[in-house]
Amino acid sequence: MSEEDAGDSRGQTADVQALAIERFIKSYVAASPENRLSRVDDSPIFEEPLVGFASGDDPLFEQYKELIGPFHFTPREILEQTLPGTATGDVSVICWVLPVAAKTRAENARRRNEPSPRWSDTKYDGEGFNNSLRGALESFLTCNGCPAVAPGLSPLFTLMLPEPGGWTSNWSERHALYAAGMGTFSLSDGFITERGIAMRCGSVVAGLALPATPRRYRSYTENCPFFLDGSCGVCARRCPAGAISTEGHDKGLCFQYLNETLAHTGERYGRNPLACGLCQTAVPCESRIPPAATKKRDCVT
């Protein structure tokens, strides 16, 4: 076999592996009884996911050490430090987006000061399901002979309060998604994907060479119309904590609103602290890339 043929067959194997992983994630979301709002009406918490891949050696992950902090893991580091001796070959990051169900978005969109019960349960039961998916994909890969770790489930995963920025983790799911070409950040700090900003997301780092999803964005805020021409800003008007302004998102005010102001609602719902997500519903980016951002991009290219 020529070198070129060998390269082709490696590429085909990678494509087949990527397809199998995408199918696994989509089937799990469609079939899992945990993807259900069991305290409400047993309807699905999330709709069909988006799946993307990044190379574990993408230089962006080194940049994140400067951007977020030296404590932020590269994919190779989290794999090697969680499962010593396993990160010797290729490393890829498998990312997914779980779009919040339309009914939940519609209910939260009508709220002005506090989230709806469906939204709140989407945070708690939804993140519980997201963790099951992380674990299931880890097992699927491990059973197929591939070392894998979901950073969010790693015993090394932690949240910290570095100066002066507010809560930060040593593995940011959204930054992994950005590397995997799945969207961009917004004025509210939220991440806007092709299925919008009303979503939860996750990732697994695997010892595989998967085809990286092309990153077509020229800026890390390209999907947010505010950063294109100063328009929109609906998320700032929606935020009941006054935590979003033309200066961006004040994590401290956001955190305080969630933990203190919403404490009484949390008691009523039996969920403390509460979710909020008003900045992610009744906004032009709720379930898609806002047309204003797409139109502007088309003009530029």
The residues binding ligand B12 (CB under 6 A) are: 67-68, 123, 130, 152, 159, 166-169, 171-175, 178, 185, 188-191, 197, 199-202, 220, 248-249, 251, 254-255, 258, 275-277, 279-280
Q: Does the bond joining 115 to the residue before it have cis omega, within 30 degrees of 0?
A: no
In angstroms, what is the minimal distance from the CB of 207 to ligand B12? 21
Pairing of strands 244-245, 199-206: unpaired
Pairing of strands 199-206, 92-99: antiparallel
In angstroms, what is the minimal distance from the CB of 91 to ligand B12? 19
Are residues 96 and 133 in contact, defined by beta-carbon separation less than 8 angstroms? yes
For ligand B12, give the closer residue by CB, 51 or 209.
Answer: 51
CA atoms within 13 A on the CB side of 236: 16
Amino acid letter, 149: V
For ligand B12, give the closer residue by CB, 92 or 104.
Answer: 104
Host H or E run for residue 184: strand 184-185
For ligand B12, give the closer residue by CB, 60 or 209.
Answer: 60
User: Can you tell me which residue has the tokens 């696994």?
Assistant: 24
> What is the rounded CA–CA span in Å between residue 6 and residue 65?
35
In angstroms, what is the minimal distance from the CB of 9 to ligand B12? 34
For ligand B12, give the closer residue by CB, 17 or 117.
Answer: 117
Tally Cβ neighbours within 10 Å of residue 270: 11
For ligand B12, give the closer residue by CB, 49 or 147.
Answer: 49
In angstroms, what is the minimal distance from the CB of 280 to ligand B12? 5
In angstroms, what is the minimal distance from the CB of 282 to ligand B12? 13
In angstroms, what is the minimal distance from the CB of 118 to ligand B12? 12
For ligand B12, give the closer residue by CB, 14 or 189.
Answer: 189
For ligand B12, give the closer residue by CB, 168 or 294.
Answer: 168
153 token code pair = 């489930």
In angstroms, what is the minimal distance from the CB of 11 to ligand B12? 27
DSSP-based three-state secondary structure for 3 = helix
Among residues 197, 171, 172, the alpha carbon closest in space to that of 184 is found at 197
65 token code pair = 């050490």
Q: Which long-range contacts (CB under 8 A, 24 or more apart) does 63-68 make?
A: 64/172, 64/175, 67/175, 68/168, 68/172, 68/175
In angstroms, what is the minimal distance from the CB of 253 to ligand B12? 9
CA atoms within 13 A on the CB side of 96: 28
For ligand B12, give the closer residue by CB, 11 or 162.
Answer: 162
